[in-house]
């Protein structure tokens, strides 16, 4: 996949040529994601670019000559801090090489972050490959989703209730709220559509998590038409069918849809849906923290194990001894959004999920 080229002004080629750089094939640093324009690497051309600063000193061949403050003027204010060493050619080259490597790492890091966000999007109540939630909306919805699910567990509120939808939509933008509301209204009037073609199980199978999924879609009046308003069926199905569901967790890689499998350690919220509970005994696979988008299974598990709501704050179940430090799992998603105080339910569950 080739991402869009950098939109930055300034072509490093000039700088490279001025330095005597060979045109490097930078693709080795970042795979196919290396941005190129016309085969040339582009970098920012900010006014403070060290490249430009350095280029002025390039003529200097003296090695590491210290600048004498006051050489250029008796009134010149003395600079504080470490004296800047002159950018010799060698130093400049090292600097650039470092910078390019750092840029590649940073790109890679951000791609990883985006991949994680994509994984998060996939477990949201409404997921569309074509109309992605923005990053901020994804986080907001995730927070609300956790909150709403905890309410389902704690108060027995129906996931089909108006309140559930309201919780999900709290603080979301209008379009996202419409999307979520539209998706969840499906719960009472599902329509069969082979939406699962783009989900797990391949075209027509509709198999999600070992169950026969009922692909849902929502042609909501006044709402953006699908796929904007498409629904990840498994969520609602599990929300609706918390009782008596036999669940076999598929491999995390089974739901790839052509996207890279998610094989890294899961962040706690994502792991709500892991097969944490149905295998009391740690298996060799437990360390992989299998992941499937069926968050409501947590509810299923907890309810089937008769965890009273009162115990959620200090989980008294068989695995309560494995609770993780609360500080680590206290929903950082809250962040700068409006005040949000979910029960400790989810936090407590995390300890269970991750018991090893």
Partner DNA sequence: TAGGCCATCTGGTCCT
Partner DNA sequence: AGGACCAGATGGCCTA
Q: How far apart are CA 15 and CA 21, in angstroms?
A: 8
Ordered alpha helix ranges (H), the chain: 12-19, 27-30, 50-57, 89-122, 135-155, 162-169, 174-184, 233-240, 296-304, 326-329, 345-353
**Between 113 and 192, CB nearer to DNA:** 113
Supply 151's token pair. Answer: 């309410």
Q: Which residues between 120 and 139 bind DNA (CB under 7 A)?
A: 132, 134-137
Cα 265 to the center of its chain, rounded Å: 12
Q: Residue 13, Cβ neighbours under 10 Å: how many?
A: 17
Strand partners, 11: 42
- Of 79, 83, 85, 109, the one binding DNA (CB under 7 A) is 109
The 245-284 contact track toward DNA, x by CB under 7 A, reads ----------------------------------------
Kindly list the distances between the CA atom of residue 225 and the CA atoms of 98, 180, 218, 230, in Å, as whole numbers in the listed order: 48, 13, 8, 8
Reduce the DSSP state of residue 322 to 3 states and report it. helix
**Between 35 and 252, CB nearer to DNA:** 35
Q: Which residues between 172 and 191 bind DNA (CB under 7 A)?
A: 173
User: Measured from the CB of residue 318, what is the shortest distance to DNA in angstroms?
Assistant: 33
Segment interacting with DNA, rule: CB under 7 A, options 95-103, 284-292, 293-301, 339-347: 95-103
**Between 46 and 203, CB nearer to DNA:** 46
Q: How many residues form the binding site for DNA (CB under 7 A)? A: 40
* CA Rg value for the chain: 27
Say which DSSP state 40 is in: B
- Of 1, 20, 32, 47, the one binding DNA (CB under 7 A) is 47
155 touching DNA, by CB under 7 A: no
83 touching DNA, by CB under 7 A: no
Kindly list the distances between the CA atom of residue 239 and the CA atoms of 23, 71, 149, 159, 164, in Å, as whole numbers in the listed order: 56, 75, 9, 6, 11
- Of 7, 77, 284, 325, the one binding DNA (CB under 7 A) is 7
- Of 11, 40, 44, 225, the one binding DNA (CB under 7 A) is 44
User: For binding to DNA (CB under 7 A), which residues are involved?
Assistant: 3-4, 6-9, 33, 35, 41-51, 94, 98-107, 109-111, 114, 132, 134-137, 173
């Amino acid at each position: 996949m080739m991402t869009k080229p950098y939109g930055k002004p300034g072509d490093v080629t000039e700088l490279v040529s001025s330095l005597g750089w060979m045109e490097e094939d930078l693709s080795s640093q970042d795979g196919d994601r290396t941005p190129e324009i016309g085969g040339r690497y582009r970098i920012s051309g900010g006014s403070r670019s060290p490249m430009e600063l350095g280029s002025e000193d390039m003529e200097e061949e003296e090695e590491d000559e210290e600048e004498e403050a006051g050489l250029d003027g008796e009134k010149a204010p003395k600079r504080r801090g470490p004296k800047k060493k002159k950018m010799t050619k060698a130093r400049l080259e090292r600097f650039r090489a470092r910078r390019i490597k750092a840029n590649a790492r940073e790109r890679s890091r951000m791609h990883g972050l985006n991949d994680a966000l994509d994984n998060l999007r996939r477990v949201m109540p409404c997921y569309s490959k074509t109309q992605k939630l923005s990053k901020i909306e994804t986080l907001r919805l995730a927070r609300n989703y956790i909150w709403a699910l905890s309410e389902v567990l704690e108060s027995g509120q129906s996931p089909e209730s108006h309140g559930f939808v309201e919780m999900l939509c709290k603080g979301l933008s209008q379009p996202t709220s419409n999307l979520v509301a539209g998706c969840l209204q499906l719960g009472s009037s599902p329509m069969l559509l082979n939406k699962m073609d783009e989900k797990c199980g391949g075209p027509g199978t509709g198999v999600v998590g070992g169950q026969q999924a009922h692909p849902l879609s929502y042609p909501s009046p006044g709402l953006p038409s699908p796929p904007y308003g498409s629904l990840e069926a498994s969520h609602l199905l599990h929300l609706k069918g918390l009782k008596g569901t036999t669940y076999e967790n598929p491999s995390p890689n089974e739901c790839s849809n052509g996207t890279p499998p998610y094989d890294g350690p899961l962040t706690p919220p994502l792991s709500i849906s892991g097969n944490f509970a149905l295998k009391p005994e740690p298996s060799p696979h437990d360390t992989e923290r299998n992941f499937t988008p069926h968050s409501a299974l947590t509810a299923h598990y907890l309810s089937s194990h008769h965890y009273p709501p009162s115990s959620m704050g200090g989980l008294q179940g068989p695995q309560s001894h494995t609770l993780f430090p609360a500080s680590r799992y206290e929903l950082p998603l809250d962040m700068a959004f409006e005040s949000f105080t979910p029960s400790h339910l989810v936090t407590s569950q995390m300890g269970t999920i991750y018991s090893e």
